Each structure stands twice: as C-alpha cells, then as structure tokens.
Amino acid sequence: MSLAGAILRFFIDQCVPDSVAKALADAGHEVLLLREKIAPDSPDPLVCAVAEANDAILVSHDSEMKQLARRRGGGQLRFRKLSLVHLTCREAKAAIRITQAMSLIEHEWEYGH
C-alpha cells in the first residue's frame, strides 16, 4: 500500500523503462503499460487520451507530452483531466527518482483530487 493510503493508477509510456513500472507497482500502485493497451509508437494525442480515459497518471520521458498536456483546443484545455509525471532524468535513474518522489506524487494526487 502507498504511503498516502490511496492506490494510484499510472499509464507508462513506451519510452519509460520497466524499472519505473516495477517501482510504482512495488509501492502498491496500479500500473498500465502502453504496450498492453495500444500499439507502440501511437501518436502522442492518443497516448494522452488513453491515459485520461483510464483516469491514470501518464508517466513519460517525452518532452512533447508536457506541451501537449497544456495545449488548448476548442477554447478549453485539450486534456482537462490528464495528470502527467514528466521524467527529465536519464532513463537509468528514472526508477530511483520515482521512488524518491513517491510521497510527493501521492500527496499531489490526494490534494488535487
């Protein structure tokens, strides 16, 4: 079980190492892998839409995801409910960074929802 008590759902982009998915699962959270839900190399808007439709926090190394999550379309936020963990560290350190930031991620989710 997570530190905050809530079980969060994460949608792991294809560019994120499996070690990050394992770290999240080991912390007691639900993990959805892109490769198990949609085709690899799916367009970024589809990846965002699937994460949002599954009420999952998108985890990605892709810098364009951050811009896409904020982009406005039709006078409103395009992905109004999308939560994003954007990893900027080297992939080799991603699982360690996620583990170090876990309590902050859990707190932000609880506070924001």
Domain-embedded: residue 21: yes
pTM here? 0.85
Domain-embedded: residue 13: yes
Tens-place pLDDT, residues 24-36: 999 999 999 999 9
The pLDDT of residue 15 is 92
- CA gap 25, 91 in Å, rounded: 18
Range of the domain at 51: 9-112
Indicate whether 17 pLDDT > 70: yes
- Domain count along the chain: 1
Tens-place pLDDT, residues 52-73: 999 999 999 988 887 776 654 4
Beta 72-73 vs 76-77: how paired, if at all? Answer: antiparallel
